[in-house]
Structure 1
Amino acid sequence: MKRRKNGMKKLRLSFLFGVLCAFLFALASCGKYTLSRPTRVYIDSDALILHWDEIDGADRYVVSVSGKEEEVNKNEYSLVSLEAGDYELKVKARDKDEKYKESVWSDTVSFTREAESGVRYRLTNNKTAYEAYGIGSASGAIVIPETYRGKPVTKIAEKAFSGENRLTSIEIGENVTELGDRAFFMCSNLTNVTFKGNVSSFGSYVFQSCSKLESIELPEGLTVLPTDAFSYCRRLESVTFPSTLMMVSDNAFKDCSALKSVEFPSATLIIGSQAFQNCTALENVNLGGVLSVGTYAFSGDVALQNVNFSKVQTIGNYAFNGCTALTEAEIPDTASSVGEGVFYDCTALETAKIGKNVTAIGAFAFYNTKLWNDATDLVYADRWCVGYKSESALDELRIAAPTSSTTRKYAVWNADTVGIAEQTFMIRTRNASGGYDVSGDPTILVVQIPERMRYIGKNAFRSAVKLVQVQIGTGVEKIGDYAFAGCAALQSLQMPVNGASLKAIGNFAFMGSAKLSTITNNLPDSLEEIGTQAFVGTAIWPKKDTNGIVYSPDKKWALGVSGTVKEANILEGTVGVAKYAFYKSESITAASFPESLQYVNYGAFYQCKALTTVSFADCRDFRSLGAYAFYQCAALESATLPGKLKTLESSTFSGCPSLSALNVGSMKNTLPTTLESIGDYAFSNCTSLTALTMPDSLRSIGAYAFNSSGIVNLVLGKNVDTIGDRAFRNNANLTNVDFGDSLTSVGSRAFYNCTALQKVIFPDTMLSVGDYAFYGCTAVDEITLNEGLLSIGRYSFFGCSGVMVLTFPSTLESIGDHAFRACSALQSIIIPSSVETIGKHVFFACREATIFAEAESAPEGFDVMWNSSYRPVVWGCSLSWDKTYVVSVTKNEKTVSYATEKNPVGSPIRDGYSFSGWTSVQGGTTAEYAPAEIVSVPDGTTLYAVWGDPDEKGRTYVQSDVSMEWTSEEAKEAFLGQMKMTEEQFLAYLRLAQFRISFGYDGTVKAAYIVSEETAYYKIENGVLTFYATAEDMANGNRITDENSLFTGTFTISEDMNTLTIVDADEENGVSITMVFH
């Protein structure tokens, strides 16, 4: 204990002062005293300041800069004003009153002053790198270098050059990975941008309004072009996209009026809203691998002549609105939908081909095109009816011409008509403000849908006030939302007699058609889904029905409720429950379903807060349980699922915190043996669900599926191959996971913050680990990565503080940023040569780790900050055939990196063996060198690892109890006085701190640390544990000195290696602390 006894301290100080005075008097009588030579001369390369230790008696210092001397009055000298070049620096001490002789010169320090452009830089990333943050005095052509003052330049900061018209060109060094928001915003004279490396991140508005920029080649590694990246760059003529680009965000090239052509790489999947709006010179677009085109993406591109839609799946509203030069459009078979107004005002468009898999076309998608304007009554785009000339005032839409004369005006559908676009038979009229109003058709009386038509779009006949009769053809698969809503005169709805294909009736499809009372031929057996209140406001929807439940006229579907329902006992013969049928029916306490039931649609029992039990036990041919079916049924305690269920849709039981029993027949806490997938959020926040058996039929688990649930032990079925993002996030009780036999990927944050999880052992099938997958799993003490694994995502194992050994498989190719950061118990890391890419800060705060790499040096794909904690690295290791342990290494000048006396090379680790040391004899069994001595071995020497018999050393033990024994009562009072704690409080602190101690294979202590490292005020070095006096000392990184250390002690380990005793260094007056570990 470094404690002072005040009286003794004063005596010692008085004695020393007397001795010193006598000594100085003696010197004075013998001549002038020579000042000490300045020592510890060094350069702060960040601040460019020369420092040295202060000399007693000196009040002046002479600094020699390559022979030119300058006197200063402090023990530092600024080097900022030096011009670029090489310098020799040294210092001597003097005093202005010349009482002492000046000292001799210090050791000489060499210094190279790099040329600087005037650009302003500042430290970032814990002072390990620089970012450029301002133009400073620079102008014209500016180069951002790879390094600045010996450290990499990794970023150009937000608004660094924003609005700087002095900038004419910029070359960005290869270490720069990020450009901040508005970094070059409105650089009005910028004409050229060159990327020397792989910048992976651009900020929003990064080059917006660079009005003289004419061309740019974007860097490889860039995956997303952010919002407004190049908007209003009105001279920009050409852009070369990198092969890595996945997304072009909203407004990225908006109003780039000189841009002539764009071709996207196969990796690009998404083009955002207005991304190329008003690019008035753009003539050709090749969408490549793009799947989604956003709203207004190419709107107003008046020169656009050719678009290769390639593999597109969805086209957003008004995406090509006003492209007046476009004459044809071919929507591919990959597309599923075409948005509203997509080709609106494309006045030259005369032909269109619609892919066979398109199921919906938005309202007025082809309005005011040539094909629209040339039509006489019905407007067709390929096999889709996309418009109606209301001036034709039709009475009937017929399958065929009438066989007898009629006074009614009619049109006959094309024989191969596939679908009707949204709002096709609604009338569009210009209003007084210049906009448009949409109203129902005033003339149509009869609609016959042809046999080959499959889709009736949303609002297709909405508010057709004279429509009396609708005949649905056998080919119709879907009637869209509001398709016949508000048809006040509609009396007859005729379904096909045989062979019906109808699967879905949309939300509010017939709502408000008050006279509709019968459905001829009943609802077909093919029907799987009826939308929300599809028949509300019709004569079919009575004020009351059986037990308050509203059924379709044929009793096949439960449509909703009318009145109070306490028990939803669905009638035998019912095949389906419609969407939101029992929405927020707060009186329902139980629900049971008949043998005949096949479908429960989306949100059927949404927020039935009093519902406690649900049973599908009697259902024999159940097919579909819709998403959100029992969402937020807060009182639901048990559910018996149907035995033949194949899919649990998203959020089926999400927000059911009381759900504790999930059964199939008599089998408890299990899922159906037919189940193949569990959807997103299916059991999210089911905190009472602690046990659940996954069947072997299960293949995928969706995002958030068990987020914040109560599962303790998880055994995945042997065929599960994917776990979605955040699937088991925040499962605080999850202790063990068996990942099965088929798993290939674990999604982002899948097991985030599962603080009780102990081991991660992957099957041989694993290919990728998502970002943050096991972040904060602080109890994990073993990670086994399989052969076949290809990639590990960012932050994937951050904070797994119990893991000691990490061996990467020979198939691994990439490790993301921060992947193993704060894995503070890590001692040995083996990296095979297959690893080509490692991100930044991967092993940051792994304070005890030594890295053994198969590569001779860091590959180009290793980020400059990959080893930002500067852990020792041994390069060029020969590994075992399975890459799990080190066999040998041939020493050369580059073999060891970052090893120091205080940060020595540690032992490699091999499962089941102890490491004895290194030998120069192949096959030798006697160690010649300790691990740390590898640095002093002569170059050219091949060292072979000596592996001894396995033993119980090399394990990590967790504290289970702690006690203290004082050497005296005075010691106790002094110690606790400094701690400002009672003895009970200090014991409670030690127990709460939860020490862990790790023993090396030689039986010595390798690491002792506190699990809660952010609040642990201690330091361990060379087997000595020291507590900091204050939290501030720890936070500020103060060196532990006699003045600010509170306790210093050495370790003693019992023979059974389960008891650690820390003995106070103050043997005369101290304390011993005994900790028991397991």
Structure 2
Amino acid sequence: MTVNIPTSISELPDYCFYKCSSLTTINIPTSVSKLGYRCFRYCSSLKSINIPSSVSEIGDDCFYGCTSLKSINIPSSVNKIVDWCFSWCSSLTSINIPSSISKLGDCCFCRCSSLTSINIPSSVKIFVNGCFCGCSSLTSINIPTTISELGEECFKECSSLTSMNIPSSVSFIGKECFYWCKSLTSITIPTSIKERGKDCFKECTSLRLVKINSPSVGSLPNNYFQMFKWMNKLERCCFIACSSLTSINIPSSISEIGKYCFCGCSSLTSINIPTTISKIEVGCFKKCSSLTKINIPTGVSELGYGCFCGCSSLTSIIIPLSVKILGDGCFCGCKSLTSIIIPTNISEFRKNCFSVCVSLTSINIPTTITSFGAQCFIDCKSLTSIDISTSVKIIGEECFRRCSSLKSINVPTSISKLERRCFKMCVSLKSINVPSSIKTLGDNCFNGCYSLTSITVPSSISEIGAGCFCGCSSLTSINIPTAISKIGDGCFCGCSSLTSIIIPSSLKIIGNECFCECKSLKSIN
């Protein structure tokens, strides 16, 4: 359908042709000076339109959702492209912006998925929020030297954009500005940048080179990222999942690195941390699976929860004396870590601190340590021995579970209880000294320790938990102390080499299946 506007009309009012889905062509006379709010919104069959030079004002959302619109001319009489003006014009391949335009409105070209390139005149001063968001075919764009700001989500999801040169006139880059620009491999950023929003380069998985346009920085090799020397903070999740990033140099101006900042940077092999950093935040380097070494400066006082978790290529680490706290799961899953030096200022190993460090053979524990958290050394399959000092008061649940190479361990007299599953499946453990300070052996404490041949249960023990020695198939004898009144369910189940056992008169309850499958048991006293 074609519509010819008569010359008696001076403006097209708001919603004039709203949802005229059969409209294909419209002829606008020179008598018209204004196109109203949502004038052609959802005219899904409109393919082209000639806007006469008499038009000086185009309303918000004017051509929103004109999905068949392939080209349009904007006359020099128009001085701004308003909010959402050409949003979702998914067939629009190119557009000429005249030099009269000084502003591009919010989301004005959002989701123009066929737009491959656009020329911005020097008259434009600001790229506002979401300006080119979702322009998935846009491969390049020139940013004039008059631009001072790149708004929030400005180039978000421009998945075909490969490179970007930001002029020195720009001082602000908004939140998520280049979020999900998955083809972006390089970007040039000037020294004029004073503020950069959260998640600015998040999910830029092909980003390999960032150049700072400053003669004082010098040349930067490929795959190297030099941070801005005047910035003082890297926000939370700033470079999360930038999987092609290989190395980073952080300047001394940075005093804070946000939580999960480099999480999932799986190609990152090295990084320097400046002495201005006081804390390695939660998940900061989590799953940086190519990181082989890291230097923690003396200014750091805390390593946050899971900060190096999953750094599977990290072979060794030196923790400075300034560090006082190792967070939960701090080195969890550091599968190549063979040694670690713990400073004397550390007072505790928290939950999962060294869990799944499968290459860790030994660890030096300072006398300042007072507790081992739950699952602290679980699945440390190469750990052969460990010396626990008398300063340790607590060994948490499943602390040494599945430490399959652990052959011996000395439990200090400062410990009063061995928690449940503490040594479960320590299949190489042959002997253990249980001191008289121990009052309780928790459920499944030595379950599956099939190399354990003997154990002395001290008279101080008042409780042996369920399944405590279940599956200890090499255990030949055991003495139950007189303080015991109850043996838990399945306590000696599967102790197939157990030949004799002495049960004291104090014992009142023998749990279900307590001696199940004790095939060699010949005498019970």
TM-score bracket relative to the smaller structure: 0.5 to 0.7
* CA deviation string 1:893-935 (max 9, x = no partner): xxx999xxx9999xxxxxxxxxxxxxxxxxxxxxxxxxxxx95
Give 2:503's aligned residue. 875
Query: Residue 138 of structure 2 aligns to which amino acid in structure 1?
Result: S
* Structure 1: runs of 5+ lacking an equivalent: 1-388, 394-401, 412-426, 428-439, 450-460, 474-481, 497-501, 879-888, 891-895, 906-933, 936-1078
**Counterparts of 1:390 and 1:690, CA distance in 2:** 70
Alignment of 1:543-558 (within 5 A): 553-554=170-171, 556=173
Any conservation in 2 of the 1:592–1:615 contact (CA below 8 Å)? yes
Q: How many residues align?
A: 417
- 1:718 pairs, out of 347, 372, 375, with 347
Give 1:797's aligned residue. 426
- 2:90 pairs, out of 464, 478, 498, with 464
**Counterparts of 1:730 and 1:470, CA distance in 2:** 57
Give 1:578's aligned residue. 201
CA shift for structure 1 position 448: 5.7
CA shift for structure 1 position 780: 2.9
CA shift for structure 1 position 744: 3.9
Any conservation in 1 of the 2:388–2:410 contact (CA below 8 Å)? yes
1:627 maps onto 2:265 in alignment: no
CA shift for structure 1 position 754: 1.5
Give 2:314's aligned residue. 686
Give 1:768's aligned residue. 397
1:662 maps onto 2:299 in alignment: no
Query: Residue 512 of structure 1 aligns to which amino acid in structure 2?
Result: S
**Counterparts of 2:417 and 2:377, CA distance in 1:** 19
CA shift for structure 1 position 731: 0.9
Give 1:752's aligned residue. 381
Any conservation in 2 of the 1:690–1:709 contact (CA below 8 Å)? no
* CA deviation string 1:30-53 (max 9, x = no partner): xxxxxxxxxxxxxxxxxxxxxxxx
Any conservation in 1 of the 2:91–2:113 contact (CA below 8 Å)? no
Any conservation in 2 of the 1:771–1:795 contact (CA below 8 Å)? yes
1:728 maps onto 2:351 in alignment: no
- 2:490 pairs, out of 850, 862, 879, with 862
Any conservation in 1 of the 2:332–2:354 contact (CA below 8 Å)? yes
Give 1:338's aligned residue. none
Q: Look up the SS of the partner of 2:324 in the other structure.
A: coil
**Counterparts of 1:406 and 1:766, CA distance in 2:** 69
* CA deviation string 1:835-879 (max 9, x = no partner): 4421673433245654447545644x326725343264443476x
* CA deviation string 1:987-1016 (max 9, x = no partner): xxxxxxxxxxxxxxxxxxxxxxxxxxxxxx
CA RMSD of aligned residues (A): 5.8
1:709 maps onto 2:337 in alignment: yes
**Counterparts of 1:463 and 1:807, CA distance in 2:** 80
Alignment of 1:309-708 (within 5 A): 407-409=39-41, 441-442=67-68, 464-466=90-92, 471=106, 486-487=114-115, 495=128, 509-513=134-138, 522-523=149-150, 534-535=157-158, 537=160, 541-542=163-164, 553-554=170-171, 556=173, 562=186, 573=194, 575=196, 578-579=201-202, 580=204, 583=207, 587-588=222-223, 591=226, 593-599=228-234, 600-604=238-242, 606=244, 608=246, 611=247, 614-624=249-259, 626-628=261-263, 631-634=266-269, 636=270, 639-640=273-274, 642-645=276-279, 646-651=281-286, 653-657=288-292, 659=293, 662-664=295-297, 667=298, 672-679=300-307, 681=309, 683-691=311-319, 695-702=323-330, 704-708=332-336
Give 2:75's aligned residue. none
* CA deviation string 1:180-215 (max 9, x = no partner): xxxxxxxxxxxxxxxxxxxxxxxxxxxxxxxxxxxx
Query: Residue 305 of structure 2 aligns to which amino acid in structure 1?
Result: S
* Structure 2: runs of 5+ lacking an equivalent: 1-18, 24-33, 44-64, 73-80, 96-103, 179-183, 210-220, 509-513
Give 2:407's aligned residue. 778
Any conservation in 2 of the 1:654–1:684 contact (CA below 8 Å)? yes
Question: Aligned in 2, Cα 1:777/1:714: closer, same or farther, shift over 3 Å?
Answer: farther
Alignment of 1:157-168 (within 5 A): none
Query: Residue 513 of structure 1 aligns to which amino acid in structure 2?
Result: L
Question: Aligned in 2, Cα 1:794/1:628: closer, same or farther, shift over 3 Å?
Answer: same
**Counterparts of 1:784 and 1:603, CA distance in 2:** 47
**Counterparts of 2:457 and 2:205, CA distance in 1:** 60
Structure with the largest fraction of helix: 1
Query: Residue 239 of structure 2 aligns to which amino acid in structure 1?
Result: N
Any conservation in 2 of the 1:723–1:746 contact (CA below 8 Å)? yes
Question: Aligned in 2, Cα 1:835/1:688: closer, same or farther, shift over 3 Å?
Answer: closer
Question: Aligned in 2, Cα 1:596/1:637: closer, same or farther, shift over 3 Å?
Answer: closer
**Counterparts of 1:864 and 1:530, CA distance in 2:** 67
**Counterparts of 2:423 and 2:224, CA distance in 1:** 46
Structure ID, larger Rg: 1
Q: Look up the SS of the partner of 1:768 in the other structure.
A: coil
Higher RCO structure, 1 or 2 (CA under 8 Å, sep 6+): 2
TM-score computed with the length of structure 2 as normaliser: 0.57
* CA deviation string 1:773-809 (max 9, x = no partner): 5332235333678457652267353323352336795
Alignment of 1:651-1050 (within 5 A): 651=286, 653-657=288-292, 659=293, 662-664=295-297, 667=298, 672-679=300-307, 681=309, 683-691=311-319, 695-702=323-330, 704-714=332-342, 717-718=346-347, 721-723=350-352, 726-736=355-365, 740-741=369-370, 744-746=373-375, 749-759=378-388, 763-764=392-393, 767-769=396-398, 772-782=401-411, 786-787=415-416, 790-792=419-421, 795-805=424-434, 810=439, 813-815=442-444, 818-824=447-453, 826-828=455-457, 832=461, 834-838=463-467, 841-847=470-476, 849-852=478-481, 854-856=483-485, 858-859=487-488, 861-862=489-490, 865-870=493-498, 872-876=500-504, 935=525
Question: Aligned in 2, Cα 1:403/1:582: closer, same or farther, shift over 3 Å?
Answer: closer
TM-score computed with the length of structure 1 as normaliser: 0.31
Q: Look up the SS of the partner of 1:695 in the other structure.
A: coil
Question: Aligned in 2, Cα 1:514/1:662: closer, same or farther, shift over 3 Å?
Answer: closer
Question: Aligned in 2, Cα 1:410/1:745: closer, same or farther, shift over 3 Å?
Answer: same
**Counterparts of 1:825 and 1:462, CA distance in 2:** 76
**Counterparts of 2:277 and 2:370, CA distance in 1:** 24
**Counterparts of 2:140 and 2:223, CA distance in 1:** 31
Q: Look up the SS of the partner of 2:295 in the other structure.
A: strand
**Counterparts of 2:251 and 2:284, CA distance in 1:** 16
* CA deviation string 1:252-278 (max 9, x = no partner): xxxxxxxxxxxxxxxxxxxxxxxxxxx
Any conservation in 2 of the 1:850–1:872 contact (CA below 8 Å)? no
**Counterparts of 1:696 and 1:587, CA distance in 2:** 37
**Counterparts of 2:300 and 2:479, CA distance in 1:** 48
CA shift for structure 1 position 624: 4.7
CA shift for structure 1 position 601: 0.9
CA shift for structure 1 position 814: 1.8
**Counterparts of 1:717 and 1:704, CA distance in 2:** 17
**Counterparts of 1:574 and 1:722, CA distance in 2:** 38
Q: Look up the SS of the partner of 1:647 in the other structure.
A: coil
**Counterparts of 1:597 and 1:604, CA distance in 2:** 21
CA shift for structure 1 position 721: 3.4
**Counterparts of 1:769 and 1:644, CA distance in 2:** 32
**Counterparts of 2:113 and 2:259, CA distance in 1:** 27
* CA deviation string 1:943-969 (max 9, x = no partner): xxxxxxxxxxxxxxxxxxxxxxxxxxx
